Copies of this chain bind each other. A is one copy, B any other.
Amino acid sequence: MAGNLENWAAEIRAGDVRALSRGVSAIENRASEAEALLKLLFPYTGRAFRVGITGAPGTGKSTLVDRLTAHYRSEKKSVGIIAVDPSSPFTGGAILGDRIRMQGHSADEGIFIRSMAARGYLGGLAQSTGDATLLLDAAGKDMILVETVGVGQGEIEIVRLADCTMVVLVPGMGDDVQNLKAGLMEIGDIFVLNKSDREGAGRFEEQLRAILQLVPDRSGWRPPVVRTVATENEGVAEVARQIGLFRAHFEKSQDRPARELAYWKDWLLRLIERRLVERVLGDHASAEQFERAAAEVAARKKDPYAAVNEILSRSGA
């Protein structure tokens, strides 16, 4: 088995698509080999640049990712794409449908595309996505694009893992409201105004710039607004250029080591929590005990501290 694992890791490092795909599945399913695989591959990570891309459904994120990928490929950069849907427990048909447009790239060994979805009881999709980017990183992908389906809290948590966060907006359609909510303005390193050939794009851009004035800058970076028409490939090179500028800024920023340390502290803390909670609530009987305890507390038949103490002592933890 150890030999198999080492072969598997070597295949991933060589960029083998099937080996990578099995690796992401193992991460997604929390299979036990995922950990062993990541241990082997971890020393080869830290080289890729990760771009998180979020925005409401219908803003054209997939098309933008598609065109940006073609742009990077024309520069001989390899690209890994992860499309994430926190709202669905299944790797969604919608994402895969979107991805059909990408089939022009499917014969290209320099591109790896994969969807991920929320599974299981204890959440952790953000962490699974982060781990999948480690695999792609070890596989030698130069650019990793992490795209979310929507813009909820879960999505924000996911794109925050990236080195650079891109927010995609579209003028009109009452999107103004949808787009301004949920702290989107604070997380964007780059704002893309897609479908900018639509009526009202100029006014929307003005509003957006006015709002961005209110957001404090982060160690000297003022998030740019880039107008695109992704379907026509307009503005895509400028998006790539801005990502490059941000990367150059980010890599010499004093914030970077602190951000990296904070990322790993958070990562370790979550895994510690998950491990500990899984030990206590992981099996079926304990999960049932937990449900029963919560119902008793809600009915005031038991106090919540007594309930927690019972759960912790019965589990032997």
A42 to chain B, nearest CB (A): 4
Q: Can you list, as one digit per residue, whether each of A153-195 has a CB less than 8 Å from chain B (1) or not (0)?
A: 1000000000000000000001001101111110000000000
* Pair A273/B273 contact, Cβ less than 8 Å: yes
Residues of chain A from 30 to 75 with CB closer than 8 A to chain B in the complex: 35, 38-39, 42-43, 45-46
In whole angstroms, what is the CA distance A184 to B180 when docked? 11
B304 engages A271 (CB within 8 Å):
yes
A272 to chain B, nearest CB (A): 6
**Is A96 interfacial (CB-CB < 8 Å)?**
no
CB of A290 closer than 8 Å to a CB of B: yes
Give complex CA distance A35, B306 in Å: 10
Residues of B within 8 A of A277 (CB): 269, 272-273, 276
Which residues of chain B are within 8 angstroms of A35 by Cβ–Cβ distance?
305
**Does more than half of chain A's interface fall in helix, strand or loop, or is it mixed?**
helix
Contact (Cβ within 8 A) A305 B271: yes
Contacts of A237 in B (CB 8 A): none
Q: Do A276 and B280 touch across chains, with their CB atoms under 8 A apart?
A: yes
Among listed A15-23, A77-85, A307-315, interface-contacting one: A307-315
Are B298 and A268 interface neighbours, CB within 8 A? Answer: no
Number of identical monomers bound together in the oligomeric complex: 2
Of chain B, the residue at the smallest CB distance from A295 is: B261
Contact of A42 among B38, B46, B265, B304 (CB under 8 A): B304
Task: Write the A260-285 contact mask toward B (1 if CB under 8 angstroms, else 0).
Answer: 11011101110111011100110000
Write the A198-238 contact mask toward B (1 if CB under 8 angstroms, else 0): 00000000000001001000000000000000000000000
CB closest residue in chain B, given A281: B272
Residues of B contacting A300 in the complex (Cβ-Cβ under 8 angstroms): 42-43, 45-46
A257 interface residue per 8 A CB criterion: yes
A293 within 8 A of B: yes
Contacts known (A39-B306, A42-B303, A177-B214); A280 close to B272, Cβ less than 8 A: yes
**Is B214's CB under 8 angstroms from A276's CB?**
no
Question: Which residue from chain B places its CB closest to the CB of A152 in the assembled complex?
Answer: B183
Say yes or no for A240: interface residue by CB 8 A criterion: no
B308 touches A275 (CB 8 A): yes
CA distance A181 to B178 in the complex (A): 9
Contacts of A267 in B (CB 8 A): 297, 304
Listed by A's residue number, 28 A-B pairs whose Cβ atoms lie within 8 Å are A35-B305, A38-B303, A39-B305, A43-B303, A46-B300, A153-B153, A177-B180, A177-B211, A178-B214, A180-B180, A180-B181, A182-B183, A260-B298, A261-B294, A261-B295, A264-B294, A264-B304, A265-B294, A267-B304, A268-B294, A268-B308, A271-B304, A271-B308, A272-B277, A272-B281, A272-B308, A275-B308, A276-B277
Query: Which 7 interchain pairs have the tightest Cβ spacing?
Result: A276-B276, A42-B303, A265-B294, A264-B294, A264-B297, A260-B298, A39-B303
Besides A43-B300, A269-B290, 7 more A-B contacts (Cβ < 8 Å) are A46-B300, A177-B180, A177-B214, A181-B183, A268-B304, A272-B280, A275-B308
